[in-house]
A and B are shown apart, each in its own frame.
Chain A
Amino acid sequence: MSWSTLAFAQVSQAVVNGTAREVVTVARGIAQAGGGETTALVWGPGGAAEAGRELVGFGADKVYCCELPGLEWRQPDLAAVTVAKLIKEVGYRVVVFPSTARGADVAARTAALLSAPMASNVVSWELVDDTLEVVRPVFAGRATATVRLSGGPVLITVRSNVFSPRPAQGAGVVETMAVEASSAEGRRGVRVTGFEEGRRDRLSVGEAPIVVSGGRGLGGPENWGLIEDLAEALGPDAALGASRAVVDAGWRPHDEQVGQTGKTVSPNLYIAVGISGAIQHLAGMRTSKRIVAINRDPRAPIFGVADYGVVGDVFEVLPALTEAVREVREGG
């Protein structure tokens, strides 16, 4: 069986997001290591075709574009049935999904439909004895599991921001694929009937390249302006995060929570402000590329995972940092 791979590249508009490039990069890497072709399935609303052409530049030999109107692209059963059918027809050995909420959902449904083995949140892979071996963090990053997925097809979701997108020239055949909206009918499924847009002024914490998180050290919700100011100074790439303690106290909404029972994030830069670093918090952010800790207590466990630390009162340190960030960013 050849190592042909399929990347499920979910797009929400014409713009290709980072995760779509990452899944194609991983699919391309595996296909090349094993000697096979890379295919990308671009799934989204209008604009998917444009997105597809961009993905050729990340090594896709073939791109199928599925543009679905209205809420159709949000239907998880339709996505899973379509992907499963394509996998069966073509016989891909490995299928790569993003570990976003939607990507992980479609992956799990597809794995269930095909009775195929699946590994979530993969952070590295290797071909060993003609078998795919992957590493994934488990127990909230307190252990890593090496898992062997044999036969085909096998499915993986890849953790966001771990695999850097690598430009590569694929053969680049872009085709539009018609999706029969009726193909998931007859199944007892769910129907997405609406979408409520969240805050658009900031990226969500799970996808942002920079995260500024606040904890109890901020003293109260009335002081969150300091966190927002720093995020503002860092630009549109920065999102807000929060510790479990402050979410449970009602200071911040639960969709900002980073940690074991919140979001797992791996941004390029994670700034923890007034967060002591309980294990359940470290679980959600320890794979970040660079971690900055700002805390009054030099013995706080957060310094144990930090690349850079500043000890001090957050009410003095934060304004100074925000100002300095503005200066260095404006200074070019």
Chain B
Amino acid sequence: MNVIACIKRVPDSAARIRPAADGKSINAAGVKFVTSPFDELALEEALRQRDEAGEGTVTAISVGPPECADILRSALALGADEAVLLSRGEEHRLDPVMAAGALAEEIRECAFDLVLTGKQAIDDEGGQAPALLAEALGVPFAPAAVALTVEDGRAVARREVEGGLEILEFDLPAVVSVDKGINLPRYPNLKGIMAAKRKPLEVKEAAGRSTGRLELVALEEPPPKGAGRILGEGPDAARELAHVLREEESLI
């Protein structure tokens, strides 16, 4: 089974986000970048599905600046067979149409059974790219899977919705986005890191254009929150809290 894992390089979840001088991108100075956590789950699932099938390859693909090679090398170290960097500046970061377009152009040329990606990236948090990608490729789309099994070209996924879990069935090839709970990603080991050096990492120009109808006007730091009220310590403060929530706030 040939599986493609689409992974995005994003600022670490603990990094302070400061808008750059242009007011539309982030100031990357001092910011640590990582693979988006949901995409780590997608890569892990890709490796498991390949190994379960006992044949095929895992290709990790990322769209973005040259530094994305870092997360692709990590993917190779974890067990991906090859990697493709679709090179482009930062302008795609908050534009799912551009990202999905670039991925679709590349993936269309590959013989794939399954495309896996995170349910959303932790920077844009839009969650649109997987659906756009599936539509562009003309294949079924299963969102936010917390479980995935594949047999004889048919797949069954589960996803959490309000009130419970839905079971989705579909034919391969397909695009599946994954949610927390699907697996626990492995850690890299020295053998994998050494092996990764001999694996191919191809760099190409990214295709995919913006529709021009979604324009980022401004990226700003959120307004600071005013200081809260510390009601005190211990059980007495707890009782006061209950009264405040009832009498002043009418929340309970």
Chain A residues packing against B (C-beta within 8 Å): 12, 74, 76, 100-102, 104-105, 108-109, 111-113, 115-121, 133, 137-151, 154, 188-198, 200, 204, 206-207, 210, 234-235, 254-255, 257, 260-262, 264, 268-269, 278-280, 283, 286, 290-294, 298, 303-313, 316-321, 324-325, 327-329
B53 to chain A, nearest CB (A): 21
Contact B239 A104 (CB under 8 A): no
Contact A111 B214 (CB under 8 A): no
Secondary structure call for the B interface: mixed
Instruction: Tell which of B135, B163, B174, B249 touches A112, judged by Cβ atoms closer than 8 Å.
Output: B135
Contact B180 A257 (CB under 8 A): yes
Contact A145 B162 (CB under 8 A): no
Count A/B pairs, Cβ under 8 Å: 274
In the bound complex, residues from chain A placing their C-beta under 8 Å from that of B37 are 260-261
Contact B165 A196 (CB under 8 A): yes
* Interface-located stretch among B66-74, B79-87, B188-196, B226-234: B226-234
- B166 contacts A by Cβ under 8 Å: yes
B2 to chain A, nearest CB (A): 18
- B110 contacts A by Cβ under 8 Å: no
* Interface-located stretch among B44-52, B56-64, B123-131, B198-206: B123-131
- B29 contacts A by Cβ under 8 Å: no
A330 to chain B, nearest CB (A): 11
Contact B251 A151 (CB under 8 A): no
Chain B residues packing against A (C-beta within 8 Å): 11, 13-17, 19, 26, 37-38, 94, 96-97, 122-128, 130-132, 134-136, 138-144, 146, 157, 159-171, 174, 180-181, 211-222, 225, 228-239, 241-247, 249, 251-252
Contact A329 B246 (CB under 8 A): yes
Contact A324 B243 (CB under 8 A): yes
Instruction: Tell which of B13, B164, B169 touches A279, judged by Cβ atoms closer than 8 Å.
Output: B13
User: When chains A and B are docked, how far (Å) is the Cα of A148 from the Cα of B94?
Assistant: 12
Instruction: Tell which of A146, A262, A293, A328 touches B243, judged by Cβ atoms closer than 8 Å.
Output: A328
Contact A269 B26 (CB under 8 A): no
In the bound complex, residues from chain A placing their C-beta under 8 Å from that of B249 are 269, 290
User: When chains A and B are docked, how far (Å) is the Cα of A188 from the Cα of B162?
Assistant: 25
With A196-B165, A309-B231, A310-B241 in contact, is A120–B217 under 8 Å at CB? Answer: no
Instruction: Tell which of A120, A319, A325, A327 touches B128, judged by Cβ atoms closer than 8 Å.
Output: A120
A18 to chain B, nearest CB (A): 11
Contact B241 A306 (CB under 8 A): no
With A119-B214, A290-B251, A320-B238 in contact, is A305–B225 under 8 Å at CB? Answer: yes
A123 to chain B, nearest CB (A): 10
With CB as the reference atom, state the residue of chain A lying closest to B23: A146
With CB as the reference atom, state the residue of chain B lying closest to A294: B238
With CB as the reference atom, state the residue of chain B lying closest to A327: B242
With CB as the reference atom, state the residue of chain B lying closest to A234: B252
In the bound complex, residues from chain B placing their C-beta under 8 Å from that of A120 are 125-128
Interface contacts beyond A120-B125, A311-B233: sample of 19 additional A-B pairs, CB < 8 Å, sorted by A: A101-B161, A109-B141, A111-B128, A117-B214, A121-B126, A137-B222, A143-B222, A147-B217, A148-B216, A150-B213, A188-B171, A192-B166, A193-B168, A198-B163, A262-B180, A308-B229, A313-B234, A325-B245, A329-B252
In the bound complex, residues from chain A placing their C-beta under 8 Å from that of B225 are 286, 304-305
With CB as the reference atom, state the residue of chain B lying closest to A267: B251
Contact B122 A260 (CB under 8 A): yes
Interface centre among B16, B136, B168 (most CB of A within 10 A): B168
User: When chains A and B are docked, how far (Å) is the Cα of A12 from the Cα of B125?
Assistant: 26
